[in-house]
Amino acid sequence: MDSMQKNVLRGVFLSYVLHNCKKSRTFAQNFGTMESNTMEMALLEPEEKELVEYVFHAIPAEDRNGLTPDDVLFVLDMMDDFLEEQGLLKEDPATGEMEYLDGEVDETEQLNYVLDAAKEDGRAISSVQIQLIQDAELQFGIEKGYYEED
Protein backbone atom coordinates (compact mmCIF):
# COMPACT_ATOMS: atom_id res chain seq x y z
CA MET A 1 0.00 0.00 0.00
CA ASP A 2 1.52 3.31 -1.04
CA SER A 3 1.46 6.57 0.89
CA MET A 4 -1.51 7.97 -1.03
CA GLN A 5 -3.60 4.86 -0.37
CA LYS A 6 -2.74 5.02 3.33
CA ASN A 7 -3.86 8.65 3.50
CA VAL A 8 -7.09 7.91 1.66
CA LEU A 9 -7.82 5.02 4.03
CA ARG A 10 -6.82 7.17 6.99
CA GLY A 11 -9.28 9.77 5.78
CA VAL A 12 -12.08 7.23 5.46
CA PHE A 13 -11.47 6.07 9.01
CA LEU A 14 -11.32 9.61 10.37
CA SER A 15 -14.59 10.38 8.64
CA TYR A 16 -16.17 7.41 10.35
CA VAL A 17 -14.78 8.30 13.76
CA LEU A 18 -15.51 12.00 13.54
CA HIS A 19 -18.83 11.83 11.66
CA ASN A 20 -20.72 13.36 14.56
CA CYS A 21 -18.17 16.14 14.98
CA LYS A 22 -17.73 17.49 11.44
CA LYS A 23 -16.60 20.76 12.90
CA SER A 24 -14.46 19.15 15.57
CA ARG A 25 -12.11 22.10 15.58
CA THR A 26 -14.75 24.18 17.34
CA PHE A 27 -15.67 21.16 19.42
CA ALA A 28 -12.02 20.65 20.39
CA GLN A 29 -11.43 24.34 21.11
CA ASN A 30 -14.25 24.29 23.63
CA PHE A 31 -12.86 21.29 25.45
CA GLY A 32 -9.84 22.41 27.43
CA THR A 33 -7.63 19.64 28.75
CA MET A 34 -9.22 16.21 28.58
CA GLU A 35 -8.19 13.92 31.38
CA SER A 36 -9.56 10.43 31.93
CA ASN A 37 -12.94 10.42 33.67
CA THR A 38 -13.65 14.11 33.06
CA MET A 39 -16.90 15.50 31.76
CA GLU A 40 -15.22 16.62 28.51
CA MET A 41 -13.94 13.14 27.72
CA ALA A 42 -17.38 11.76 28.50
CA LEU A 43 -18.84 13.93 25.69
CA LEU A 44 -16.90 12.06 23.01
CA GLU A 45 -18.47 9.14 21.19
CA PRO A 46 -16.93 5.84 22.43
CA GLU A 47 -14.92 5.30 19.23
CA GLU A 48 -13.66 8.89 19.28
CA LYS A 49 -12.58 8.52 22.88
CA GLU A 50 -10.87 5.21 22.14
CA LEU A 51 -8.99 6.70 19.18
CA VAL A 52 -7.88 9.82 21.06
CA GLU A 53 -6.73 7.81 24.10
CA TYR A 54 -4.95 5.23 21.94
CA VAL A 55 -3.11 7.88 19.93
CA PHE A 56 -2.23 9.96 22.98
CA HIS A 57 -0.80 6.98 24.89
CA ALA A 58 1.02 5.60 21.83
CA ILE A 59 3.23 8.69 21.77
CA PRO A 60 6.40 8.18 23.82
CA ALA A 61 6.36 10.14 27.09
CA GLU A 62 9.34 12.29 26.09
CA ASP A 63 7.54 13.35 22.88
CA ARG A 64 4.20 13.82 24.64
CA ASN A 65 5.55 16.61 26.87
CA GLY A 66 3.09 19.51 26.68
CA LEU A 67 0.68 17.59 24.44
CA THR A 68 -2.91 16.97 25.57
CA PRO A 69 -5.61 14.64 24.27
CA ASP A 70 -7.33 17.82 23.08
CA ASP A 71 -4.29 18.50 20.89
CA VAL A 72 -4.56 14.99 19.46
CA LEU A 73 -8.21 15.56 18.56
CA PHE A 74 -7.27 18.92 17.03
CA VAL A 75 -4.56 17.35 14.82
CA LEU A 76 -6.89 14.56 13.66
CA ASP A 77 -9.50 17.14 12.78
CA MET A 78 -7.01 19.35 10.92
CA MET A 79 -5.91 16.33 8.88
CA ASP A 80 -9.56 16.01 7.83
CA ASP A 81 -9.85 19.74 7.11
CA PHE A 82 -6.78 19.52 4.87
CA LEU A 83 -8.36 16.73 2.85
CA GLU A 84 -11.56 18.75 2.56
CA GLU A 85 -9.66 21.79 1.25
CA GLN A 86 -7.85 19.58 -1.26
CA GLY A 87 -11.18 18.37 -2.62
CA LEU A 88 -10.61 14.86 -1.30
CA LEU A 89 -13.34 15.03 1.32
CA LYS A 90 -16.89 16.14 0.64
CA GLU A 91 -20.17 15.98 2.48
CA ASP A 92 -22.95 13.98 0.85
CA PRO A 93 -25.88 16.41 0.94
CA ALA A 94 -28.40 13.56 1.10
CA THR A 95 -26.91 11.73 4.08
CA GLY A 96 -24.70 14.33 5.74
CA GLU A 97 -21.91 11.73 5.78
CA MET A 98 -18.41 12.68 4.70
CA GLU A 99 -17.10 10.91 1.60
CA TYR A 100 -13.45 10.55 0.66
CA LEU A 101 -12.47 10.80 -2.97
CA ASP A 102 -9.48 9.24 -4.68
CA GLY A 103 -6.50 11.50 -5.00
CA GLU A 104 -2.94 12.06 -3.95
CA VAL A 105 -2.07 13.64 -0.62
CA ASP A 106 1.18 15.54 -0.23
CA GLU A 107 2.21 14.57 3.30
CA THR A 108 4.60 17.52 3.64
CA GLU A 109 1.86 19.91 2.60
CA GLN A 110 -0.53 18.26 5.06
CA LEU A 111 2.02 18.51 7.87
CA ASN A 112 2.58 22.21 7.12
CA TYR A 113 -1.18 22.78 7.04
CA VAL A 114 -1.61 21.22 10.48
CA LEU A 115 1.40 23.15 11.87
CA ASP A 116 -0.01 26.44 10.57
CA ALA A 117 -3.46 25.67 12.01
CA ALA A 118 -1.91 24.78 15.37
CA LYS A 119 0.07 28.05 15.44
CA GLU A 120 -3.01 30.03 14.48
CA ASP A 121 -4.91 28.34 17.30
CA GLY A 122 -2.11 29.08 19.79
CA ARG A 123 -1.09 25.46 20.23
CA ALA A 124 2.54 24.50 20.76
CA ILE A 125 2.48 21.28 18.74
CA SER A 126 5.71 20.26 17.00
CA SER A 127 6.07 18.63 13.60
CA VAL A 128 7.44 15.55 15.38
CA GLN A 129 4.31 15.35 17.54
CA ILE A 130 2.08 15.70 14.49
CA GLN A 131 3.92 12.90 12.70
CA LEU A 132 3.66 10.71 15.80
CA ILE A 133 -0.09 11.38 15.94
CA GLN A 134 -0.43 10.45 12.27
CA ASP A 135 1.59 7.27 12.79
CA ALA A 136 -0.37 6.24 15.89
CA GLU A 137 -3.69 6.87 14.13
CA LEU A 138 -2.53 4.66 11.27
CA GLN A 139 -1.48 1.92 13.71
CA PHE A 140 -4.86 2.15 15.46
CA GLY A 141 -6.58 1.70 12.08
CA ILE A 142 -4.40 -1.30 11.26
CA GLU A 143 -5.13 -2.92 14.62
CA LYS A 144 -8.88 -2.32 14.16
CA GLY A 145 -8.76 -3.75 10.63
CA TYR A 146 -9.61 -0.45 8.94
CA TYR A 147 -6.27 -0.36 7.10
CA GLU A 148 -4.06 -3.04 5.67
CA GLU A 149 -0.42 -3.19 6.61
CA ASP A 150 2.15 -3.03 3.77
Q: 135 lies in which domain range? A: 3-144
- Domain assignment present for 71: yes
Q: pTM for the full model? A: 0.70
Q: What is the pLDDT of residue 106?
A: 87
Q: Is residue 149 part of a domain?
A: no
For position 7, what pLDDT does the model report?
52
Q: Strand, helix or coil at 45?
A: coil
- Can you give the pLDDT at residue 29? 39
Residue 8 belongs to some domain of the structure: yes
Q: Which residues contact 74 (CB under 8 A, 6 or more apart)?
A: 24, 25, 28, 29, 117, 118, 121, 123, 125
Domain count, the chain: 1
Cβ neighbours, 10 Å, residue 138 = 19
pLDDT at residue 37, rounded to an integer: 35
Residue 129: inside a domain = yes
Ranges of the chain with pLDDT below 50: 19-37
CA distance 94 to 37: 36
